[in-house]
Each structure stands twice: as structure tokens, then as C-alpha cells.
Copies of this chain bind each other. A is one copy, B any other.
Amino acid sequence: MSKLLKSYDRSRIPLYIQVASVMRQRIQSGQWAPGQRISTLEELEREFQVARVTVRQAIGVLQDDGLLHAQQGRGTYVSDLTPSRHWFKLETTWDELIESIRDNVPQHISLEENVAAPALQANDGKAADAYVLLRSVQYRDNEPYSLVNLHLARYIFDLNPKLFMRAPALSTIAGLSQVKVAYAHQTLVIGSADPETADRMMVAIGAPTAECHCVVIDDTGTAIYVADIIYRSDCIKLQIDLLGNAPTPAARMAPTEKAPKRPKAKQA
């Protein structure tokens, strides 16, 4: 261990992983541009206060990921085509949210008919008499990006069970004229993947996740929709318009007159 292990030992994570993590960040943020030659091993040794071999291990990790390639006698270069992270935009207003998920096709894992009420937080309203639990995985480009645990009030689900199994529940609710949505909110915290999540999201156990708790409350103050959604952290981006007058195109042009548009299937 180096003499300057100051902030390293706050973590029990292998040094070369930590170094690789920082270098990955620099590449993804553009601080190290595609095609650019990065610092020499000696410079990196000094910067990170680690042994030469440790730096090389870190570089090895990023080479495996295709982000770097080292060449003897020349130096180490950032790959020309660093795959830009494809951000999945998490919308922050009802209309945009409905619009953005309209064509999603949930890949259902299970449907449990008689389940306990979901864990409700402050301002989540009161629990309905009965819930069904819908569990699903969301895909994009055949890659899983979120795991959904949805508690749906039983009587809401019964209004159109088939549609709830086929289309995003939120869109379906928005299209049900019998349902009066009074409040809707979500909270987001950063967590880490448990074994099941890790398995389904194809990430490591303990990898960072965004945990979203989304609740819809009807005009009787009942929480009719309680979704706990776990997103992979590496594909999530929130965009928050602080003044509510964003000049973005589209977004809310069409008043969601009608129900979900019969989602077209994307993946198998």
C-alpha cells in the first residue's frame, strides 16, 4: 500500500478498480477526448500514487471495455468511438411521463392477485382495500434498464385487466375515464442492486441504481398506483425544468385525449 493512502482506504474496493473508475469517468465526460493520447504511465503513477502495475491493471479494465488501447512505444489512446451512454430520459411532469412511456412494452415477470398493501410514504394517501402486484422488466434496444414492482389497486386493475397486462399501467390509467387522478408524485434516491435486480438488469451486485417511488392518488385520497422502479444508474438522466416554461419541442402539445395507442411490440 502506498504511503499516501489517505482517501483510498475509505473503501475496501481494489485500488485498480478505483483508478479505472476515475479514468472511465474522464472518458465518458469528455475530459479525455476520443482519439486523444492520455498521460504516460509515470504521470498516472504520480497522480494516483500507485504502483505502475496497478495503473496498468486499471488500463487493462478499460481496454476490455473498449475505451482505451495501449500501444508499446507510442502511448495509450482513448478509443475513437467511445460508445455514448444512451440516456433514458426520466420525465418529471405527468403529461411528458405518459407520453414518454406510451409505447413501452413491459416484459412481465409475475402477477400476484392477493398481496399486502405497498409501503406508503408521507403524502402517499391511504391504501386501497386490495392490490394486485405486477412485476416487470423494461427493455430498450433489447437491453434491460429497469425493474418495476407495481402495486395496482385491485378495482383499478379489474377495469381492464388485459390492457394492464399489455400496456404501461400509467398510460392505461390516464386513459380510463372512470378514474380521477388527484395527485401524482415520485421520489428518487440512489441505491444499490440486490442479487435479483443485478441479475435482471445485467449489472453487478451492489452496482448503483436509481430507485424511483411513483404514486398516483385518486380523488378519494386512495393510492391506486404505487410503483417502485429500480433503474440501472448508467442509463438514467433526469431533466428538470425549474420554471416550467422550457422551450423544448413537442412534449405536451397533444392533450392526452385518448387512451394508450395500442403499443406496437418491439422486442420478442
Binding site for B on A (CB under 8 A): 6-8, 10-14, 17-19, 21-22, 24-26, 30, 47-48, 61, 87, 92-94, 97, 119, 123, 181, 183-192, 194-195, 198-199, 202-208, 210, 233-234, 236-248, 263, 265-267
Contacts and interface: CB of A to CB of B under 8 A. Distances in A.
A97 B242 contact: yes
B10 A17 contact: no
A188 B204 CA distance: 22
A48 B195 contact: yes
B12 A183 contact: no
Given A119-B30, A195-B48, A204 B244 contact: no
B25 A17 contact: no
Which of A47, A239, A240, A248 is the most central at the interface, judged by chain B CB atoms within 10 Å of its CB?
Answer: A240
Nearest to A13: B13
Given A13-B14, A18-B205, A199-B6, A236 B123 contact: no
Which of A7, A8, A185 is the most central at the interface, judged by chain B CB atoms within 10 Å of its CB?
Answer: A7
A128 to B, nearest CB: 19
A248 to B, nearest CB: 6
Nearest to A192: B21
Given A123-B248, A191-B25, A247-B123, A242 B12 contact: no
Given A10-B202, A97-B242, 18 more contacts: A7-B198, A8-B204, A13-B205, A21-B192, A22-B205, A22-B206, A26-B194, A92-B92, A93-B267, A94-B243, A181-B243, A185-B240, A187-B238, A188-B237, A188-B238, A190-B190, A190-B236, A208-B208
B7 A185 contact: no
28 contacts: A7-B198, A7-B204, A11-B207, A13-B17, A13-B206, A18-B206, A21-B205, A22-B192, A22-B194, A87-B189, A92-B240, A92-B242, A123-B248, A183-B243, A183-B245, A183-B246, A184-B243, A185-B240, A185-B241, A185-B242, A185-B243, A186-B239, A188-B240, A190-B234, A192-B208, A244-B265, A244-B266, A244-B267
